[in-house]
A = this chain, B = another copy of it.
Amino acid sequence: MSSRRDFVKIVGASALASALPTSSAIADSPFSKITRTYHLAIAGYTFLIYNNNIDKVIEVLKAVDIKYISLKDFQLPYNSDKQQAEVIIGKFKAAGIQVYGLGVIYLKTEKDVDNAFNYAQLAGVNTIIASPVYEVLSYMEKKAKEYNIKVAIHNHGPEDKLFPDIDTIYDKIKNMDARIGICLDIGHSFRCGHDPAAMLLKYKDRIYDMHLKDVDAPVEKGNSLIMGRGKIDIVSFVKALDKSGYSGMCSLEYEQKGDPAIGVAECAGFFRGVLKST
């Protein structure tokens, strides 16, 4: 198994870096005691009700000053051709926003895996956030090496029989190529009764993406909330982020009904407030 450091070299950090926006709200804090290597981002699922209205998504991201996004298929359809992908991703780029990943993509067959890697290659991103069945894991690993594209497997909480929390993901991938990793969803982890900060520190070497939110109770039926209004200890999670050396995206995922704009803004503000204080 390659180390994570080697892996970053394989994927081509310099090529990716050249596509990054020039400033980071996190790193630029005038008061923070440390320089951070991770970025506030957003999961495209947040904007479900905007459907394929990319202009509306960009309007909100500009208002809240978030510069990184992963897209769902309703934003960048799976059957897009190269030109269609360039138009959509180009809109974000023109607004100073980087499309850093795609997903969550459900992978039930080898054909799904083929499609997902073609889709990611066509979009020019280096990370797929995926929800695979066990049967395709080996084929997925082979494709990840072939395309040199990372896969971050996403945990979906207690009701997910395959990957409820990231410990079950790690068990399945620990001997695989380092391109196969984890997308830590802290809400679903919390609903499993786990401490997301502890999960981050335990599996940090294989965490390649995150979905951040809050939840009202550490139980299966826990409800997703605006960050800061629930029971997840975000302060402790940020301390774990700093300790972990994580250098990827911290994607807010807003899952409540109605227009997400105002809720996303409060989440972004809350996360920045904790960062500034920690």
Contacts and interface: CB of A to CB of B under 8 A. Distances in A.
B63 A277 contact: no
A267 B272 CA distance: 10
A266 B263 contact: no
A58 B162 CA distance: 44
Interface string A115-155: 00000000000000000000000000000000000000000
Interface in A249-277: 261-263, 265-277
B263 A228 contact: no
A235 interface: yes
Residue from A64, A231, A263, A276 having most chain B Cβ neighbours under 10 A = A276
A229 interface: yes
A265 B269 contact: yes
Contacts of A200: none
Contacts of A234: 273, 276
Interface in A213-227: 226-227
Contact of A273 (B65, B233, B270): B270
Given A233-B31, A278-B277, A272 B228 contact: yes
Contacts of A277: 235, 238, 273-274, 277-278
A234 B226 CA distance: 21
Contact of A268 (B231, B238, B266): B266
Contacts of A240: none
B262 A64 contact: yes
A57 to B, nearest CB: 14
Nearest to A267: B269
Nearest to A259: B63
Contacts of A270: 269-270, 272-273, 276
For the complex of A and B, the 9 pairs showing the least CB-CB separation, nearest first, are A273-B273, A269-B269, A277-B277, A266-B269, A265-B265, A269-B270, A270-B273, A265-B266, A273-B274
26 contacts: A30-B231, A31-B233, A31-B235, A63-B262, A64-B262, A64-B266, A65-B229, A228-B269, A228-B272, A228-B273, A228-B276, A263-B265, A265-B266, A265-B269, A266-B268, A266-B269, A266-B272, A267-B269, A268-B269, A269-B272, A270-B272, A271-B273, A273-B273, A273-B277, A274-B274, A277-B277
